Amino acid sequence: MPPDARGPQTVGALVADLSRGDSSRPAVTWVDPANGARVELSIATLANWVAKTGGLLQDGLDVEPGDRVRLSLPTHWLAVTWALGCWVVGAVIEPADAEPPDAGDPEVEVFGDDRDPSTAARGVVVGLGAFGGSVRNRVRDQRTGVLDAGAEVLGYPDELFVADPPAPTSAALSVGGGGVPIEHAQLLGQARAAAAQMGLRHGGRLLAGAAPCDRAGLVHSVLAPLLAGGSVLLVRDRKAVEAAGGLTELAARERVDVVAPLGSPT
């Protein structure tokens, strides 16, 4: 399917467009029903986190356009900021569920403090508490060469200058197995189609079904609601919430318009 010619053609342009509108409206909400945690990011706050994350990637990790970054993060609001940060600086995301992965290791792997990394030239560990934060005193071991994202990212500016921003034809998402990566314009076209498929109208609020760092989630849970001018609700361990019969009440409380199917959409 050819990409939709309307609207932004790169993720960086999407973030810029969102920031020019009502930047106080919600963009990403994350809840952990098990302990009552709830974090909500407005468009302005999301843009600041994307800029800081992009700065860490570009200036702290020397990520260059076309470099591969594997995102091995669970359902968390920081997964969205890392995905968008990768795209605005021109990195190619290798999703968490990529099988088989591309030949050779990615330049960077971003992983949560709940797991050990795969092989990568550079590793970044992300704290998965409600507000992120440093993991310096909580990791099980001292991983040599692994950067503590929570201790670093807040030191980067709220605005990001990218000397060589991605073009619509720049690679954005790895398909694994050495296949040709999906380009920015193609990826955004897929996200527009996904929003229409899910019945997500302009300004709508989506309860995500796919993990944001999985291939389907990067399209359906991250990009589709932002392209629709709406917001996304990410639920930690949604499967358990659904099994306990609490999803309908949660969706009503959070004023959700569309509940996406659990897992990767067909």
CATH no. for residue 48? 3.40.50.12780
Q: Would residue 38 count as lying in a domain?
A: yes
**In this structure, are strands 68-72 and 108-112 parallel, antiparallel, or unpaired?**
parallel
Q: Would residue 1 count as lying in a domain?
A: no
Q: Would residue 2 count as lying in a domain?
A: no
Show pLDDT as tens, one digit a residue, over the chain (266 residues).
344 457 899 999 999 999 998 999 999 999 999 999 999 999 999 999 999 999 999 999 999 999 999 999 999 999 999 999 999 999 999 999 987 666 678 899 999 998 877 666 789 999 999 999 998 765 544 555 789 999 999 999 999 999 999 999 999 999 887 789 999 999 999 999 999 999 999 999 999 999 999 999 999 999 999 999 999 999 999 999 999 999 999 999 999 999 999 986 64
Q: Where are the alpha helices (DSSP H) in 89-142?
A: none
Phi and psi at 240, nearest 5°, equal -70, -40
**In this structure, are strands 171-173 and 182-183 parallel, antiparallel, or unpaired?**
antiparallel
Query: What is the total count of domains within the chain?
Result: 1
Residue 216: domain span: 11-259
Q: Would residue 5 count as lying in a domain?
A: no
Q: Do residues 203 and 230 make contact, with C-beta atoms less than 8 angstroms apart? A: yes
SS percent in the chain: helix, strand, coil, step 5: 35, 20, 50
pLDDT confidence of residue 141: 43
Q: Would residue 265 count as lying in a domain?
A: no
Q: How far is CA 88 from CA 24, 37, 147, in A?
A: 21, 29, 20
Q: Would residue 264 count as lying in a domain?
A: no
Q: Would residue 4 count as lying in a domain?
A: no
Q: Would residue 176 count as lying in a domain?
A: yes
Q: Do residues 83 and 163 make contact, with C-beta atoms less than 8 angstroms apart? A: no
